[in-house]
């Protein structure tokens, strides 16, 4: 028995509907909600310098947060506690932004301070009272922010990834402000004029 022309018409119509439906399906967005073009751009391998910046900036940010949490518990001075509160908020926000950029680029961001920074945290945790305040202001407030300002200053011209470069350029003024605040704090807690 030979199929009727109506059979072929229905068959072709069904195939067209199925194919049209498949073509009309929206393409799934990438996990970050990017368009396919953005996803392709972000999959381009990051330079070693960009990866190194992510590592160093992330570790520095985590050092600031961890040390400042310690200051919330151990600081004697209300000014130190206030500074530490600001550092927790600002560096947590920056860490989250850097983490978002890193993950989008396929680079695992650091989740903790470096081993050398952990040693600084350990030394800081051993201090008490006014000595803690002086050590926190000097080592975390001033020294760590000088390192961060240096890192972020070079990043504006040295980084290749445009989104990472924009993050560095945007964050640098805040780090410079933190450094100025830390220098004032260090003078106050050390008794220097």
The distance between the two most distant Cα atoms of the chain, rounded to a whole number of Å, is 106
What residue ranges in the chain does DSSP mark as E strands? none
Q: Evaluate whether 145 touches 100 at the Cβ level (below 8 Å).
A: no
Phi, psi torsion values for 95, nearest 5 degrees: -60, -40
For residue range 152-184, what is the model confidence (pLDDT) as tens digits?
Answer: 999 878 899 999 999 999 999 999 999 999 999
Domains of the chain: 37-190 (1.20.1260.10)
pTM (two decimals): 0.76
Distance between CA atoms of 28 and 16, rounded to whole angstroms?
22
Q: Evaluate whether 129 touches 169 at the Cβ level (below 8 Å).
A: no
Closest C-alpha to 140, from 62, 51, 42 = 62
Q: How many residues in the chain?
A: 193
For residue range 71-119, what is the model confidence (pLDDT) as tens digits?
Answer: 999 999 999 999 999 999 999 999 999 999 999 999 999 999 999 999 9
pLDDT of residue 157: 82
């Amino acid at each position: 028995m030979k199929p009727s022309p109506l059979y072929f018409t229905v068959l072709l119509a069904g195939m067209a509907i199925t194919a049209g439906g498949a073509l009309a399906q929206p393409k799934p967005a990438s996990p970050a909600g990017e368009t396919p073009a953005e996803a392709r751009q972000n999959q381009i391998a990051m330079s070693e310098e960009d990866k190194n910046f992510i590592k160093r900036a992330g570790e520095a940010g985590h050092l600031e947060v961890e040390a400042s949490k310690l200051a919330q518990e151990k600081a004697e001075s209300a000014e130190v506690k206030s500074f530490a509160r600001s550092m927790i908020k600002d560096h947590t926000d920056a860490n989250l932004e850097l983490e978002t950029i890193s993950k989008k680029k396929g680079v695992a961001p650091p989740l903790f301070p470096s081993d050398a920074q952990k040693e600084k945290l350990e030394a800081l945790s051993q201090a008490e009272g006014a000595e803690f305040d002086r050590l926190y202001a000097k080592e975390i407030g001033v020294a760590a922010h000088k390192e961060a300002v240096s890192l972020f200053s070079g990043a504006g011209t040295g980084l290749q990834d445009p989104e990472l470069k924009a993050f560095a350029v945007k964050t640098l003024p805040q780090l410079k402000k933190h450094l100025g605040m830390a220098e004032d704090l260090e003078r106050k807690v050390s008794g220097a004029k």
